[in-house]
Amino acid sequence: MSGTEIEGSNNAYTNGSIHTSNGSVDDKLGELRRLLGKSDDDPLRIVSVGAGAWGSVFAAMLQDAYGHLRDKIQIRIWRRAGRSVDRTTAHQLFDVINSREDVLRRLIRRCAYLKYVEARLGDRTLYADEILKDGFCLNMIDTPLCPLKVVTNLQEAVWDADVVINGLPSTETHEVFEEIGKYWKERITVPVIVSLSKGIEAELEPEPHIITPTQMISRSTGIPMENILYLGGPNIASEIYNKEYANARICGAEKWRKPLAKFLRQPHFTVWDNGDLVTHEVMGGLKNVYAIGAGMVASLTKESATSKSVYFAHCTSEMIFITHLLAKNPEKLAGPLLADTYVTLLKGRNAWYGQKLANGELTLDMGDSIKGKGMIQGISAVKAFYELLSQSHLSILHPEEKKPVAPVELCPILKTLHKILISREVPSQAIRQALRDETMNDPRDRIEMAQTHAFYRPSLLGQ
């Protein structure tokens, strides 16, 4: 079997039938079931596609909140089979298990502890899908989750799903959802998809444009955009599962975003709804770009608060400038959008990667998929945004030189990151030199220019 049944959530953090200002768990589930047209004897089927840190935590949060209502909802997570766990990680797993009495007792009760002992001794090999069933995400070993129902057969996972959570990196979204589209050709009902993916890809033909994960999903499956939403916010996966307060926005068509915001909201996780899908998804990709630079600056300046704040001012001005090219009236960089940028620059995996790159613990030759961290999406996003904004036919008037230039010429941080990460013309230290460039404009000038000029280019989104 490719799936395994799980017992009711006994996680120390389980929410049970918590009552909130938005009603009980049963009421929120009932409202979503009615909207999806579910009959009394037909459970609502939710599947998370992709088992990275955030995708796994998202599924676990739903399991904790709703898993006890077995007759009304079924929550599963898909990940590929066959990924083995190395000896070092097996040792780390064993130590984590034995440091948490609640986890140890749970594994013993489920007759699952012995395999971790054997793996610690080197007598057997563990697999990523196997440990995920016990609540261990390979990218987040130190944070045990509740047990999950894991499915390794993609067709089995998605063919009858009512709600699909996209927990894949943007670099994998198109490929996986193209396969999913084949399984949905005969579907009568249209599923709802919530994408957690924070990244973008670029295409230069027939005209240069970006492709966001929600667009990839729609094109691959034929699901209309009104049924595809994006959820983003200041979300460090392990901290959210450990009940640190967080908030997020779910963006998309009003029909789905409002009831889903209510359904996903928990006492420690506030979810608001917003109609500006484009800005939030683009910002989700951009903040990964600039987070790598933030990590470099932190390492090279020995965590100088002054240098990091200077970098923050410049990179956010570039982000605002770029979003004005991609959206006619973009959402302001405030609230969860600003918080998402801040926390990613502060602690996300892309910032971690930038730090390790700058201090020499990692090299570019190691690629963009890092053991224990997963995909560093900022690398491909640097390439995508640079290629897109380098196109001469998108030229805008330089405010000082009074001549047409490609938009990237007004984004010195993005240009420097491309030279470091993609063309490899300069070392990581160049990011610090870019901040010290005496010719660099006041960040306010770039923001003012973006807000007062007609920069919007619909073609950049393939429109």
What CA–CA distances, in Å, run from 366 to 327, 356, 375, 380? Answer: 35, 12, 12, 14
Strands (E) in 308-414, as ranges, are: 369-370, 374-375, 396-397, 404-405
Separation between Cα atoms, residue 149 and residue 191, nearest integer Å: 20
Separation between Cα atoms, residue 117 and residue 114, nearest integer Å: 5
Both tokens of residue 142?
Answer: 């130190």
3-state SS, residue 259 = helix
3-state SS, residue 270 = strand
Separation between Cα atoms, residue 256 and residue 194, nearest integer Å: 10
CB 240 within 8 A of CB 231: no
Beta-bridge partners for 48: 77, 165
What lies within 8 Å, CB to CB, of 293 at 6+ separation is 311, 315, 354, 413, 416, 417, 431
Separation between Cα atoms, residue 391 and residue 402, nearest integer Å: 18
Distance from chain centroid for Cα 254 = 22
Separation between Cα atoms, residue 13 and residue 445, nearest integer Å: 47
Beta-bridge partners for 202: 210
Both tokens of residue 305?
Answer: 């608060």
3-state SS, residue 71 = coil
3-state SS, residue 226 = helix
For this structure, is 258 an active site residue? Answer: no
Separation between Cα atoms, residue 85 and residue 141, nearest integer Å: 11
Separation between Cα atoms, residue 97 and residue 113, nearest integer Å: 9
Both tokens of residue 11?
Answer: 């996680």
Separation between Cα atoms, residue 148 and residue 19, nearest integer Å: 24
Annotated catalytic residue within 115, 133, 287, 419? 287
* Token pair 């990581």 in the structure block, residue: 428
Distance from chain centroid for Cα 260 = 18
Strands (E) in 228-362, as ranges, are: 228-232, 246-251, 269-274
Separation between Cα atoms, residue 256 and residue 261, nearest integer Å: 8
What CA–CA distances, in Å, run from 243 to 15, 106, 178, 270? Answer: 11, 20, 35, 12
Separation between Cα atoms, residue 237 and residue 244, nearest integer Å: 10
Active site residues: 287
